[in-house]
Amino acid sequence: MAEFLKVGVLENRVKKMGKKIKMRMKSRMENKKRKVESAKSNKEESFLTGIQGFDSLVDGGFPTGMATLVEGGPGSGKTVFCLNLAINACKKGKKVLYMSFEEPEFRLRSHMKNFGWDSEQYEKNGKLMIRRFNALDIARSVEALLSEAKKELLIDVQPVLIPKDFEPDIVLVDSLSSIASAFSGEESRFRIYMEQLFRYLESHKITSFLIRETANPTHLGGIFVEPGEAVSFLSDGIISIYSVFYETGRRGRALEIIKLRGTDIKRMVMEANIVKGKGFVVYNTPLKGKYKLT
Ligand SMILES: Nc1ncnc2c1ncn2[C@@H]1O[C@H](COP(=O)(O)OP(=O)(O)OP(=O)(O)O)[C@@H](O)[C@H]1O
Ligand SMILES: [Mg+2]
């Protein structure tokens, strides 16, 4: 009888353990499912540039609402990089605003055409807006708004910058340096304006890429303070495009991601180029040989 009882108790225990194991497995499966779903939804919320060879440097892409500086010297390829990114975003159904403070709209359209990118199609269907702005007009409007706002120093950047009736997912600014020069002598105003702009982009969940011209990449030890320097600390990410000068006399291009808050990045200077009929290309090869970055 005692034996029989023991067997019964054991059977019950096994049954209970089985139940527990099943429940644990079920909860583990549910947790896993939840994690995958959350990762999926995070992925959906992040933005991949579609630039050849670039996205593998950024784990999971740019989270929505991030502001990234695209910096580099003259002719390094900042505009081509951003135009390439703009057309790729349009292809994915995103609404894109390209704000130029330098080249006129027709020239940017022509650059895109040269690479075989049909910007007109997206401009017609309202997915793309390429607009040239006058930085001096902006500086004047900011001044007027600031004198109205007086102590608060809070201005509404929308009427000064983002066109009405267009709600973009992605904004490209070409370039912050041009805006900064229009504020020359009024650096504190530029700073206030930038703070408002970055806040606006973030609160409207707009992912932005802002070009900044650098005579010398700042992190390479340059001591010269450039126009627009104030924005470095406001940005979530920095992409540097370099012009490479090899000892052999050859010139090349390279790209590096300096920072991207909350994201794992490949920290390496990668070979890059601007390829006819293709656009901006990042190669899966770190820079080799003797060279200087400019
Ligand atoms: N269709 C094309 N095919 C190949 N290379 C091109 C093409 N269009 C432009 N390039 C190259 O890209 C370079 C300029 O790139 P981009 O205009 O993006 O530079 P940038 O960094 O914006 O310069 P800036 O500071 O003067 O605005 C040119 O000097 C040219 O060598
Ligand atoms: Mg340019």
Those residues whose C-beta lies under 8 Å from the C-beta of residue 132, and which sit 6 or more positions away, are 100, 101, 103, 104, 105
Number of domains in the chain: 2
Q: What is the mean pLDDT of residues 74-99?
A: 97
Ligand 1 atom 17: the closest Cα is on which residue?
79
3 and 96 fall within a common domain? no
153 and 196 fall within a common domain? yes
Distance 146 CA to ligand 2 centre (A): 30
137 and 19 fall within a common domain? no
pLDDT tens figures, 170-224:
999 999 999 999 988 888 888 888 888 898 899 899 999 999 998 765 555 444 4
- Please state, as a whole number, how many other Cβ atoms lie within 10 Å of the Cβ of residue 49: 24
The alpha helices in the chain, defined as continuous H runs, are: 2-45, 78-91, 105-114, 119-124, 135-149, 157-160, 176-182, 187-203
Distance 274 CA to ligand 1 centre (A): 8
- Asked if pLDDT for residue 28 goes beyond 70, the answer is no
Ligand 1 atom 2: the closest Cα is on which residue?
276
Pocket lined around ligand 1, Cβ cut-off 6 Å? 72, 74-80, 111, 114-115, 213, 274, 276
Would you state the structure tokens that stand for residue 141, as one six-digit string? 């409007």
73 and 118 fall within a common domain? yes
100 and 201 fall within a common domain? yes
186 and 262 fall within a common domain? yes
Task: Determine the structural domain holding residue 18 and report its residue range.
Answer: 1-45
Cα gap 8→13, rounded to integer Å: 9
270 and 162 fall within a common domain? yes
pTM: 0.83
CATH value at residue 199: 3.40.50.300
- Report which ligand 1 atom has the smallest distance to the Cα of 274: 5
Starting from the CA of residue 83, give the closest ligand: 1
12 and 67 fall within a common domain? no
207 and 138 fall within a common domain? yes
